[in-house]
C-alpha cells in the first residue's frame, strides 16, 4: 500500500469514528457523568468552582494523594461538548440526505449545534457581578463577585474622586505596578489570596508594614475558600513610590475598614482593597425593597425591589420593579433579585452581562420547530400511504 493510500485509509477511519453514532452515545454518557459529578462536587467546591472544574474545563484534574501532583482523570465538559458538536456537524453533512424530507432533522441538528455554541459563548464572555444597594441609596457601579482591585483614590478635590484600579492579577504577580494617570508606582511586597488578620502579639514575626494600621496587624495565610457563601479575606503589602520617594509599606485588605491615605505633592491618595468595580453610564436608586411571606409563616413568598433608573445620556428617568424571575434587562445587563440583608433595607441584585444570552432560546426554538416539521412530514407521508392503500383495496 502506498503512502497516499495509507493516509486516505487513516483519514477514512477517523471520519468514520467522528461520524459514528457510538461516539454520540459516548459523549452523551460522558456529559451525564459530568453533570452528576458536578452536582455532587457543589457541596465542597460551591456552584462556581464545580461548574468551572467539571463543565467549563477541557480536562478534569484530580490530585494524587500524598504527592501534590494533579493528573487528568476525565474529559471536561468543554472537550466533550466540542467533540459532540463536531460529531453532529460532520455526521449531518455526511449522512443526512439533502432533501426537503429531512428538513426537520436538519433544523434539529442546527439547533443542537447552536446550543453548544451558546454554552461556549457563555463560558467565554459572561461576566457576573452584583449590586448591593440600600433603600434611598443611589449607585452607579456594580462589583465583581470574584475579583478584587486595589483602588488608588485621589480625594484631593472635595467635589469628586479620581479612582485608579489595580487588578488582583497584577497584585498576585508582584513586582512594580505603575498606576496609570498618577505619578505613583506600587511596589508589591506580598500577596495573600486568603488570610487571617489578627492583632500582633509578642510571638509574631516582624511585619513588613511601616505605615498605616498594618503596623499592628499580623497576617496569617489561609487556604482559599471554595464555598459560594464564603469570601476570601485577601491582603497585600504595597509600597507607594513617586519621584524617587517611598511612602512606606502599607497593609491593604478587603476586610480592613480603616481609611489609609498619604500625601504626595499636595495630593491625597487613599488606598483600598475592594471588590473590582465596573462603573455604569447610568445610576440606580433603590426606592423600596419588599420581602413578602405567606400569611402566618416565615416562609418567603416574594422579594422585590422598586428602583429608579436615571440615564442622563438618554434622557431616561423611570421606575422599574424587579422581582423573582422578572429581571431588569438594560444596556446589555440583566439585574436579577438575588438576596437581601440589614433588616430588609438592603437589596442585593445579581447582575449578569452575557452577550450570548439569546442563543439558548433560539436553539430551543429551532429544535422544537425541527421536531414539529419532521413530525409533520412523517405524518403527511403516512397519510399518503394509507390513502394509496385504501384506493388499491
pLDDT digits (tens, 9 = 90+) for 14-60: 888 888 889 989 999 999 999 999 999 888 787 778 888 898 889 99
Does residue 271 lie in a domain region? no
Mean pLDDT, to the nearest integer, of 162-190? 92
pLDDT for the residue 315: 92
Does residue 213 lie in a domain region? yes
Would you place residue 229 in the very low, low, confident or very high pLDDT band (cuts 50, 70, 90)?
low
CA 376 and chain centroid, separation:
41
- Shared domain for 167 and 261, answered yes or no, is yes
Does residue 393 lie in a domain region? no
148 close to 116: Cβ distance less than 8 angstroms: no
Does residue 384 lie in a domain region? no
- Considering its fold, how many domains does the chain have in total? 3
- Shared domain for 35 and 69, answered yes or no, is yes
Q: What is the distance between the alpha carbons of residues 264 and 266, in angstroms, rounded to a whole number?
A: 5
pLDDT for the residue 85: 85
Does residue 366 lie in a domain region? no
Mean pLDDT, to the nearest integer, of 50-74? 86
Does residue 102 lie in a domain region? no
Does residue 233 lie in a domain region? yes
pLDDT for the residue 1: 58
pLDDT for the residue 189: 94
Cα angle 339, 342, 344; round to 5:
65
pLDDT for the residue 44: 79
User: For 29, which DSSP code?
Assistant: H
Residue at which a domain ends, from 265, 300, 332:
265
Does residue 121 lie in a domain region? no
User: Could you list the residue range(s) of the whole structural domain that residue 212 is in?
Assistant: 157-265
- Shared domain for 200 and 298, answered yes or no, is no
Average pLDDT, the chain: 88
124-157 tens-digit pLDDT: 788 889 999 999 999 999 998 778 999 999 999 8
- Shared domain for 240 and 286, answered yes or no, is no
Give the pTM: 0.71
pLDDT for the residue 393: 64
Has residue 294 got a pLDDT over 80? yes
Has residue 230 got a pLDDT over 80? no
Can you name the residues that pair with 285 across neighbouring β-strands? 138, 308
Cα angle 241, 246, 249; round to 5:
95
In our burial notation (b when 16+ CB lie closer than 10 A, e otherwise), range 295-328 reads eeeeeeeebbbbbebebeeeeeeeebebeeeebb
Can you name the residues that pair with 72 across neighbouring β-strands? 61
- Shared domain for 179 and 90, answered yes or no, is no
- Shared domain for 185 and 254, answered yes or no, is yes
Amino acid at each position: 500500500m502506498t503512502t497516499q493510500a495509507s493516509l486516505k485509509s487513516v483519514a477514512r477511519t477517523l471520519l468514520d469514528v467522528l461520524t459514528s453514532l457510538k461516539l454520540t452515545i459516548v459523549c452523551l454518557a460522558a456529559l451525564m457523568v459530568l453533570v452528576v459529578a458536578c452536582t455532587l462536587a457543589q457541596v465542597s467546591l460551591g456552584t462556581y468552582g464545580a461548574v468551572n472544574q467539571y463543565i467549563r474545563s477541557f480536562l478534569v484534574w484530580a490530585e494524587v494523594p500524598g504527592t501534590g501532583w494533579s493528573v487528568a482523570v476525565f474529559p471536561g465538559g468543554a472537550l466533550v461538548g466540542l467533540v459532540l458538536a463536531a460529531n453532529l456537524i460532520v455526521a449531518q453533512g455526511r449522512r443526512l440526505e439533502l432533501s426537503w424530507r429531512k428538513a426537520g432533522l436538519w433544523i434539529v441538528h442546527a439547533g443542537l449545534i447552536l446550543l453548544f455554541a451558546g454554552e461556549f459563548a457563555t463560558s467565554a464572555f459572561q461576566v457576573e457581578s452584583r449590586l448591593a444597594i440600600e433603600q434611598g441609596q443611589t449607585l452607579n457601579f456594580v462589583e465583581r463577585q470574584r475579583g478584587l482591585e486595589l483602588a488608588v483614590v485621589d480625594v484631593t478635590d472635595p467635589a469628586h474622586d479620581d479612582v485608579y484600579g489595580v487588578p488582583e492579577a497584577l497584585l498576585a504577580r508582584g513586582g512594580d505596578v505603575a498606576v496609570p494617570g498618577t505619578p505613583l508606582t506600587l511596589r508589591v511586597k506580598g500577596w495573600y489570596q486568603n488570610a487571617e488578620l489578627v492583632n500582633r502579639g509578642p510571638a509574631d514575626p516582624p511585619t513588613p508594614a511601616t505605615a498605616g494600621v498594618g503596623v499592628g496587624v499580623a497576617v496569617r495565610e489561609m487556604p482559599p475558600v471554595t464555598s459560594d457563601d464564603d469570601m476570601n479575606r485577601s491582603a497585600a503589602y504595597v509600597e507607594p513610590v513617586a519621584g524617587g520617594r517611598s511612602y512606606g509599606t502599607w497593609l491593604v485588605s478587603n476586610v480592613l475598614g480603616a481609611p489609609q491615605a498619604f500625601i504626595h505633592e499636595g495630593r491625597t491618595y487613599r488606598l483600598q482593597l475592594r471588590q473590582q468595580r465596573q462603573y455604569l453610564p447610568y445610576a440606580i436608586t433603590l426606592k423600596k425593597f419588599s420581602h413578602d411571606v405567606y400569611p402566618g409563616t416565615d416562609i418567603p413568598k416574594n422579594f422585590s425591589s422598586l428602583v429608579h433608573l436615571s440615564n442622563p445620556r438618554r434622557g431616561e428617568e423611570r421606575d422599574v420593579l424587579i422581582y423573582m424571575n422578572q429581571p431588569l434587562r438594560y444596556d446589555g445587563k440583566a439585574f436579577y433579585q438575588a438576596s437581601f440583608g440589614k433588616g430588609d433595607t438592603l437589596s442585593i441584585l445579581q447582575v449578569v452581562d452575557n452577550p450570548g444570552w439569546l442563543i439558548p432560546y433560539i436553539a430551543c426554538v429551532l429544535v422544537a420547530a425541527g421536531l414539529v416539521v419532521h413530525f409533520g412530514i412523517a405524518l403527511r407521508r403516512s397519510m399518503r400511504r394509507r390513502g394509496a392503500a385504501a384506493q388499491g383495496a
